[in-house]
Amino acid sequence: MLISLPVIFRGLGVDPFAPSSFPILIWLLLGYGVVTATLLVTVGRLSDMWGRARMYNAGFAIFSTASILLFVEPLSGTTGAWLLVGFRLLQGVGASFLFANSAALLTDAFGPEERGKAMGMNQVAFIGGSLIGLVVGGVLASIPDLPIGPFVLPTWRLIFLISVPVGVFGTVWAYARLRETSIRRAHQKIDYFGNITFAVGITLVLVATTYGLLPYGTSPTGWSSPWVLGGLGTGIALLVLFPFIESRVKDPMFRLHLFRERAFSAGISAAMLGSIARGGVMLLLVVWFQGIWLPLHGYSLAETPLWAGVLMMPMIAGFLTAAPLCGWLSDRSGARTLASIGMAVAASTFFLFLLVPVNFVYWQVGLLLYVQGCGMGMFAAPNAAAVMNSVPAEDRGAASGMLATLQNTGQQLSLALFFTVVILGLSAGLGSSVTGALSAANVRPPDLQILAGLMSSNPTGA
């Protein structure tokens, strides 16, 4: 969806540079992840009680339904855009059912000697889907609307339609092939107080960080807004209260005792830190490619969505190269060394990116992206296998949900952090004359520049 934002906004008839458009953009980009991160732990715990295969099947059904609603959504303008956001949030609900159970189902199905390989193949499927989504989204964004008899089918709607056959196939396949191999614990009670405390706390933190990216008063960001500060403070307070609640209930949602296992606590913490480090990289590189580098090298603005996806392929290729191999190796030699080397390799590429000039030669960045993808693949599969191997069978759903929650939360925090740095940098770097002209149009300059990159548009109109 990221690559296709320009054609979606144009199809809805929404001016991407209107002051009201930036919140829509932020929620289209981040809302899916906010909902997913909020629900993962709860869904993982419920899956231990009601059945992981059943909840996984439900996730496919919800995701497919939301994709159909996104395709047929009839409205346009700002109302249609917010309705699109709502259906996108519903997709996030379905995704939380899938993410919370995938690692647990694989752990149930494979023994310790094969779990690394299984996790590696799972990561390949996930990242491969991301690659296909980037390229297909770019292709659909670059072709004109399709005339069908007296009607015209906007191609931006096909971006959501392509998820439908995948989701329907997944629903049917999961229903026909997946069987419950774990021991269901339906007799246990739902931890309502803990669920509500965690859900409200994490939602307030993620929503506040999202709105921290919007301008407030004369500031280019909203971190000084009392609503943002109040949301962050209240959310953090609830999350601090959450462990005390969980330690006093009979059947807690968050299995705090798992953190006593060193492999679990170290692996899950490393996964979150890795997500914070790399979560915003792909988004900002896409912005850079679409808004700056590709136009500088002679590509028309209409072509940039497709080519931005193509230029990101080395990162995906590196991941696809390393994840299955290192997952297989971790089954034989252990996960610690491979995961540590992988994280170190990925971290080194962040430093090397600092040395890349603004108008870089692509092969240099392409090589860095490939190496970074390899590092991420070396880390992800062995680390996930080590985390899941460290927990008892009856807690695998909760553990899988906890791992996915911290990864998704880290990614959302990373996006907020990266965007804040970029917005503040643009605000400080723009000349006073440009700032004055843009402010006269009632648009904050940093927000305009971010939108220009995402929308593949020239903000000056020249």
Q: What is the mean pLDDT of residues 10-15?
A: 82
Same domain, 77 and 138: yes
**Residue 369, pLDDT score:** 92
Does pLDDT of 296 surpass 70? yes
Residues 305, 398 share a domain: yes
Over the chain, what is the mean pLDDT?
79
What's the rounded mean pLDDT across residues 125-130? Answer: 70
The verdict on 414 and 365 lying in the same domain is yes
- Shared domain for 156 and 287, answered yes or no, is yes
In a domain, 461, yes or no: no
Note the pLDDT tens digit of each residue in 345-366.
Answer: 998 998 898 888 877 889 999 9
Q: What proportion of the chain, given as a percentage, has pLDDT over 90?
A: 12
Q: What is the mean pLDDT of residues 407-423?
A: 80
What value does the mean pLDDT take over residues 78-99?
91
pLDDT, one tens digit per residue, over 237-278 is 998 998 888 888 877 777 778 888 888 899 889 988 888 888
The pLDDT, as a whole number, for residue 370 is 94
Residue 440 lies in a domain: yes
Helices 362-389 and 262-278, axial angle in degrees (round to 10) = 160
Range of the domain at 202: 191-252
Same domain, 376 and 405: yes
Residue 460 lies in a domain: no
Shared-domain flag, residues 367 and 410: yes
The secondary structure of the chain, three-state, reads: CCCCHHHHHHHHCCCCCCCCHHHHHHHHHHHHHHHHHHHHHHHHHHHHHHCHHHHHHHHHHHHHHHHHHHHHCCCCHHHHHHHHHHHHHHHHHHHHHHHHHHHHHHHHHCCCCCHHHHHHHHHHHHHHHHHHHHHHHHHHHHCCCEEECCEEECHHHHHHHCHHHHHHHHHHHHHHHCCCCCCCCCCCCCCHHHHHHHHHHHHHHHHHHHHCCCCECCECCCCCCHHHHHHHHHHHHHHHHHHHHHCCCCCCCCCHHHHHCHHHHHHHHHHHHHHHHHCCHHHHHHHHHHHHHHHHCCCCCCCHHHHHHHHCHHHHHHHHHHHHHHHHHHHHHCCHHHHHHHHHHHHHHHHHHCCCCCCCCHHHHHHHHHHHHHHHHHHHHHHHHHHHHCCCHHHHHHHHHHHHHHHHHHHHHHHHHHHHHHHHHHHHHCCHHHHHHHHHCCCCHHHHHHHHHHHCCCCCCC
Same domain, 203 and 291: no
Q: Which of 77-86, 184-193, 302-311, 402-411 has the highest mean pLDDT?
A: 77-86
- Binned at pLDDT 50, 70 and 90, residue 229 comes out as very high
Residue at which a domain ends, from 233, 252, 271? 252
Would the pLDDT of 405 be above 70?
yes
Q: What is the mean pLDDT of residues 41-68?
A: 86
What value does the mean pLDDT take over residues 444-452? Answer: 50
Instruction: Determine the average pLDDT of the residues in 385-398.
Output: 81
Q: Assess if residue 70 is contained within a domain.
A: yes
d(CA 62, CA 77): 26
Instruction: Looking at the structure, tell me whether residues 84 and 19 fall in a common domain.
Output: yes
pLDDT the model gives residue 237: 95
Query: Given a cut of 80, is residue 30 above it in pLDDT?
Result: no
Band (236; pLDDT cuts 50, 70, 90)? very high
Final residue belonging to a domain, choices 223, 252, 281 = 252
The domain that contains 435 carries what CATH number?
Answer: 1.20.1250.20
| Domains in the chain, number | 2
Question: Model confidence at 171, in pLDDT bands (50, 70, 90)?
Answer: confident
Residues 164 and 106 in one domain: yes
Q: Does residue 131 fall inside a structural domain?
A: yes
Res 430: pLDDT? 53
In a domain, 134, yes or no: yes
Report yes or no on 462 lying in a domain.
no
Task: Say yes or no: 240 and 386 in one domain.
Answer: no
Query: Residue 444 pLDDT > 70, yes or no?
Result: no
Domain boundary among 252, 269, 296: 252
- Mean local confidence (pLDDT), 154-181: 79
Look at residue 432 and tell me whether its pLDDT is greater than 70: no
Instruction: Indicate the pLDDT class of residue 82, thresholds 50, 70 and 90.
Output: very high
pLDDT confidence bin for 17, thresholds 50/70/90 = low
- Residue 38 in domain: yes
Kindly report the pTM of this predicted structure: 0.75
- C-alpha to C-alpha distances, 206 to 28, 31, 45, 168, 279, nearest whole angstrom: 14, 9, 21, 31, 14
What is the predicted pLDDT for the residue at 344?
Answer: 93
pLDDT at 428 over 70: no
Among 171-185, 196-210, 282-296, the least confident range: 171-185
- Provide the pLDDT for residue 188: 65
* Whether the predicted pLDDT of 462 surpasses 50: no
Same domain, 278 and 417: yes
Q: Mean pLDDT throughout 75-102? A: 89
- Rounded to an integer, the average pLDDT of 377-402 is 82
Q: Is the confidence at residue 448, as pLDDT, over 70? A: no
Which pLDDT band holds residue 433 (cuts at 50, 70, 90)? Answer: very low
Q: Judge whether residue 121 has pLDDT over 70.
A: yes
Mean pLDDT, rounded, for 186-208: 79
217 and 76 belong to one structural domain? no
